[in-house]
Amino acid sequence: MVSERLMPPMSETTAQSNVVTRFAPSPTGFLHIGGGRTALFNWLYARGRGGRFLLRIEDTDRERSTPEATAAILRGLAWLGLDWDGEVVSQFDRKDRHAEVAHQMLARGTAYKCFSTQEEIAAFKAAEEAAGRYPVFLSPWRDADPASWPDAPYVIRMKAPRAGETVIEDRVQGRVVIRNETLDDMIVLRSDGTPTYMLAVVVDDHDMGVTHVIRGDDHLNNAARQQMVYDAMGWGVPVWAHIPLIHGPDGKKLSKRHGATGVEEYQAMGYPAAGMRNYLTRLGWAKGDAEIFSTAEALEMFDLDGIGRAPARLDFKKLENTCGHHIAMMDDAALLQELDLYLAAAHRPALDAGQHARLSAALPSVKDRAKTLPELLEKAQFALISRPVRMDDAAALALDDAGRDLLRGLTPRLQSADWTKAALEPVLAGFAAERGLGFGKLAAPLRAALSGRSVTPSVYDMMLVIGRDETLARLADAVR
């Protein structure tokens, strides 16, 4: 028996508005960066086609599932801006439905009760291995007469085809053929009546109307067994798309030692969500030479064909570069909001109203200079501080006798100048020229007096942002 099936018709046009995807994490920890990308791909694919994106928490493992993990996953998704349709589905809550389907399989003859004990199975596998065969368990109960059934605990096993092959038509991996003899009769319902993952995913995906299963390629082999369940129930198989996992910078599986593995850690490091989405979208997916794009553009462009088959490595340099572009592109109000979120996530003190206003004024002059949110704050430092300005070593050096003398000479001219860049430029340039100095010689002490540092945005930008009074006050402090 060959359970091969044709790919469902799914030209982009017919699939238009009825695409349903889902993200189905198990709540055993924070939202992993790889999971975040999987969610993103599902979200992009569905939303980009006017379809629906669903969220299901696979919490059937009661030992390891925690409400805290679920909350963390939801927070991570929310930060990434991945909103889902409808209620969050709890897989555990659907256990009765899963059991019901298992019994339907029994009734249809596509599953059977297996009374073998775990000891018997272990012994069987050991014997097989000793004989040099794959330890694929062949249950003696597969075709047993119900009359022979003992009054003992049993599991329900899928009656999987023993011969032939199962073919997965995968939109990313291509045509994957698995010989049925390498697959055993998997358990669909445990002896305690609870469903296994293999049954639960299929039932839930079917009931939720999922049309496209986009998930990590660690599930590629599972797809064959799951497809058998679809076949057993006479259900239509969804479109499969198994995407490669993300690796650390060294090419190894992403783990704690690579630093950040949780989505929320990236938020706390100050990467803006829009930049994160852009970077993650491009990690393992491409459309021509598109590199920097908005979420709206990503929605427009994203498709399954652009997904690569090899695992991609995380590259923080490129992440930063991408985020830098997004910080520069973001409008000030959105940026300010992003900044507040970051401060909270990083457990840093929030900005007060005054700082908010000054930061807002400073944003245009600093936002194209920062790659991360903390860097942005750092560059805007001149607007956030209050007098007296604390000088760092380099700034103190610039405010030597000669520097202070320059500032004393400059002060009266500033008092009478119009406070615009156009008016200020000739004033400063003229003053420097009078003293026979290059502009840089004047800018250094001025920069130091205004910011207490030697590295800042343009001196004009700083003066304009903090205003005439504050500028003069800082100069007065510096020459005192």
- Tell which positions 234-253 bind RNA, by CB under 7 A: 244-245, 247, 251-253
Closest to RNA by CB, 181 vs 332, is 181
Binding of RNA at residue 93 (CB under 7 A)? no
Closest to RNA by CB, 18 vs 458, is 458
Binding of RNA at residue 176 (CB under 7 A)? yes
Site string for RNA, 275-294 (x = CB under 7 A): -------xxxxx-xx-x---
For strand 89-90 and strand 111-114, is the pairing parallel, antiparallel, or unpaired?
unpaired
Q: How far is the CB of 58 from RNA (least distance, A)?
A: 3
Contacts to RNA from residues 381-410, by CB under 7 A? none
Q: How far is the CB of 9 from RNA (least distance, A)?
A: 19
Binding of RNA at residue 477 (CB under 7 A)? no
Question: Which listed range, 7-15, 173-181, 335-343, 402-410, lies at the site for RNA (CB under 7 A)?
Answer: 173-181
**Chain-centroid distance, C-alpha 344:** 19
How many residues bind RNA (CB under 7 A)? The answer is: 79
Binding of RNA at residue 66 (CB under 7 A)? no
Using the CB atoms, write b or e for 176-212: b if 16+ within 10 Å: bebebeebbbbbbbbeeebbbbbbbbbbbbbebebbb
Binding of RNA at residue 103 (CB under 7 A)? no
Distance of alpha carbon 14 from alpha carbon 88, whole angstroms: 28
Q: In this chain, which of 12, 134, 333, 388 binds RNA, going by CB under 7 A? A: 134
Binding of RNA at residue 166 (CB under 7 A)? no
Binding of RNA at residue 313 (CB under 7 A)? yes
Binding of RNA at residue 471 (CB under 7 A)? no
Contacts to RNA from residues 324-383, by CB under 7 A? 324, 368-369, 379
Q: Which residues contact 433 (CB under 8 A, 6 or more apart)?
A: none
| Catalytic annotation, pick one of 113, 125, 159, 256 | 256
Q: How far is the CB of 117 from RNA (least distance, A)?
A: 6
Given a contact cutoff of 8 angstroms between Cβ atoms, the answer to whether 89 and 54 are in contact is: yes
Binding of RNA at residue 177 (CB under 7 A)? yes
Contacts to RNA from residues 17-36, by CB under 7 A? 26
Tokens 């986009």 appear where?
Answer: 214
- Collapse the DSSP code of 380 into the 3-class scheme (helix H, G, I; strand E, B; otherwise coil) and give the result: coil
Q: Which residues contact 436 (CB under 8 A, 6 or more apart)?
A: none
Q: How far is the CB of 310 from RNA (least distance, A)?
A: 3
DSSP state of 194: P
Distance of alpha carbon 254 from alpha carbon 143, whole angstroms: 44
Alpha helices by DSSP H, 208-271: 220-233, 263-269
Interhelix angle 95-108/220-233, nearest 10 degrees: 60
Q: How far is the CB of 352 from RNA (least distance, A)?
A: 26
Binding of RNA at residue 456 (CB under 7 A)? yes
Question: Which listed range, 99-107, 141-149, 194-202, 333-341, lies at the site for RNA (CB under 7 A)?
Answer: 194-202
Handedness of CA 379, 384, 387, 388 (dihedral sign): negative
Tokens 């007060």 appear where?
Answer: 352
Q: What are phi and psi of 165, to 5 degrees?
A: -140, 155
Distance of alpha carbon 171 from alpha carbon 306, whole angstroms: 10
Closest to RNA by CB, 20 vs 114, is 114
Closest to RNA by CB, 173 vs 360, is 173
- H or E element at residue 240: strand 239-243
Residue 256 designated active-site = yes
Which are the catalytic amino acids? 256
